[in-house]
Amino acid sequence: MTTRFIYTLFILTGAVTFSKGETKTIYSPDSKTKVTFSDTNGNLTYSITYDDKTILEPSRLGLITDIGNYSEGLSIANYNESHIDNQYNMRGTKASTSHYEANIIKLDIKSKEALRDMIVEFQVSNNDVAYRYHIKGTTSNDKDEPRRTTILKELSSFHFPSTTTTFLCPQIDGNHKGWMSTKPSYEEEYKADAPMDVKSQYGKGYTFPCLFKVGDTGWALISETGVGSNYCGSHLSDYKDEAYTIAYPDDTEFHGLGSSTPAINLPGSTPWRTITFGNTLKPIVETTISYDVVEPMYKAREEYRPGRYTWSWLIWQDNSINYNDQKEFIDVASAMGFEYCLVDNWWDQQIGRDKIAELSKYAQSKGVSLMLWYNSNGYANDAPQTPQDCMSTSVQREREMSWLEEIGVKGIKVDFFAGDKQQTMQLYEDILSDANRHGLQVVFHGCTLPRGWEKMYPNFVASEAVLASENVYFSEHHAKQEGFELTMHPFCRNTVASMDWGGSIMNHYLSKDNKSRHRRYTSDTFEMASAIINQTSIQCICMQKSNLEELQAFELDFLKNVPTTWDETKFIEGYPGKLAILARRHGEKWYIAGLNGEATAKTLVINLPMFAGKTVAYYTDVASKNGSNEHPNPTKNTIKVDKKGNVKITFQGFGGIIITEE
């Protein structure tokens, strides 16, 4: 990843004294967002309005630590205000260039029951608020002075207006039934348009990111960023006392090993809590706040290569992990011009290391690089899949990654992490850092949400952290849910971080012969469009050899050329779980992709100013004559966009559209 920074920080005021009981307000650069602070009755609170409409009512701030209580008896002693104007370049996210401008306030907090003062920092941009806590250190050499602290509890809360509804995924602990001690792994089912006061499915709250429809006011998304080895991953609690609060990992996570509470050196900071909001879903789809407030942890060893990959396991499963089948999928990748082929679990036993080295050499001769699967292993999971004992310690990783570099493997997929404790977060960071030394890109599965990692770790590609495509294979229920899921994630999971969904599935049936087992319920155009909607810099196009003959020429041409990196992303239209239409630009070329998450056809007019007055290519589906809508035929035509940029489009049930210039 190439990251270029243009960074300007203006100090607007010195320390300003704050009188107890008064309120302080800070505005966004465009003055539409207002954040108000108060220390009334010793409770520190903040509230947010946007466009004069309430997003958050007064909500708590504070920490409880082992060196003092920052939750009550608090006062704002003074504050500093400043302004940041920062431009930077990235690869592998929704935008290659970001311009972050925000007003900053740092509140100096006094506590009667703490050994160190605390600073609460807020950065307020036009549609985002990010905040974190700093606990001050000491300059004393007194051996009794605290130089570290454990954060026992965070009081941060989110008090939405009572008319708010939710789009949330439940958090699960390590005790609930989960495959081989691999929970939680952010793979539960979302519920849409639910009231706030319904208890979460497992009573453990909700995984980040959390999406809310704030009555008729607009939308809000809560998440966090900047979490590596420095902290645990957090989530939202159940709704209680009219608010959600920050919750830490359950004791049962990571198979009970390690602490559920994070610890930091002093002076030290917590990660950023982020809130994105607007009258429409546009600011949520287009936000870059996950990256705006974090910095790279190390330099990229090389310019890492984006691309597409083939993957036998999704449909052919474990039996396909043999030399001949993997050669066939390498050949498919080569025929399609794809950059990678992923070899999944059991390769060390079913192919063997010597033959894997030979397979890697064969792939390279075809212009393809291998990516290999690994079990994260160690104490935390009981999953039997191999290779094991390769990724859980630095000694193992150095031995394994040196070999991978030697045989020309370019990426690894590491699976089964089970939890958000600080010890687990350190394992993620260690794998990424070690992999970078050997020129390896990294995908995580069975894992947590990435929190700013594309910028923090330049060889990080994506994480699963979602109920992904393997479930479309496993059960007909999830095959029927694919439309709902893939029209949910552009507004929550995938908008804060890259997502390895695991493949645009080009088989009509979830079987090797493409005739048996249950059907795929989405259209071909839906699957092709999902390669644009689902954002990750290395994208799976789940094709097998027979697809080369079964698919129409225009489908193959599109898949051969679909980009996986984007210079710009725009929200066009949509509603979570029902419809998603996005515009993404790669170089000078725009791609408009849409997914219909429901079984009923939809016709609507959308505005595409980038195509105003032009005739453009239009991919869609032809309705089945018998009305069954089973695998409607994809079609490619042209469509005229009027001078104002308006165009009328039609989706079939669980269908898709793609519009682009050729």
Residue 428 CA to chain centroid, in angstroms?
15
Q: Which of 62, 58, 82 is nearest to 72 (CA)?
A: 62
Q: Distance between CA 384 and CA 444 in Å, rounded? A: 18
Q: Do both 282 and 344 map to the same domain?
A: no
Q: What is the pLDDT of residue 112?
A: 84
Nearest CA to 139 out of 147, 128, 149, 148 is that of 147
Same domain, 331 and 453: yes
The verdict on 25 and 90 lying in the same domain is yes
Residue tagged 């539960």 (tokens)? 188
What tokens were used for 421? 């404790």
Q: Do residue 287 and residue 328 come from a single domain?
A: no
Residue 181 lies in a domain: no
Specify the pLDDT at position 629: 55
Rounded alpha-carbon distances, angstroms, from residue 501 to 144, 407, 429, 511: 50, 28, 22, 19
pLDDT at residue 320, rounded to an integer: 98
Pick out the chain residues at pLDDT < 50.
Answer: 1-5, 7, 11
In a domain, 514, yes or no: yes
Residues listed for the chain: 662
Q: Residue holding tokens 């995938």?
A: 494
Domain that holds residue 155: 5-159+224-292
Query: What is the count of structural domains for the chain?
Result: 2
Whether 58 is in a domain gets the answer yes
Cβ contacts of residue 180 below 8 Å, gap of 6+? Answer: 381, 382, 383, 384, 416
pLDDT of residue 257: 86
What CATH code is carried by the domain that includes residue 19? 2.70.98.10
Dihedral of CA atoms 442, 468, 657, 92 in degrees, nearest 10, equals -20
Q: State how far the Cα of 662 lies from the Cα of 228, in Å rounded to an integer.
A: 42
> Which residue, of 518, 549, 565, is where some domain finishes?
565
Q: Are residues 278 and 316 in the same domain?
A: no
Q: What is the CATH number of the domain that holds 490?
A: 3.20.20.70
Q: What is the DSSP annotation of 314-343? A: HHH-GGG-SHHHHHHHHHHHHHHT-SEEEE
Residues 285 and 346 in one domain: no
Residues 251 and 316 in one domain: no
Give yes or no: residues 413 and 467 share one domain.
Answer: yes
User: From start to end of 90-214, where are the E strands?
Assistant: 97-114, 118-124, 128-135, 148-154, 157-158, 164-168, 191-195, 210-214
Residue 234 is given by DSSP the state -
Q: Last residue of a domain, which of 565, 584, 613?
A: 565
271 and 366 in a single domain? The answer is no
φ/ψ region of 647 (left if φ > 0, alpha if ψ in -120 to 50, else beta) reads beta
Q: What is the pLDDT of residue 18?
A: 63
Does the residue 174 lie in any domain? Answer: no
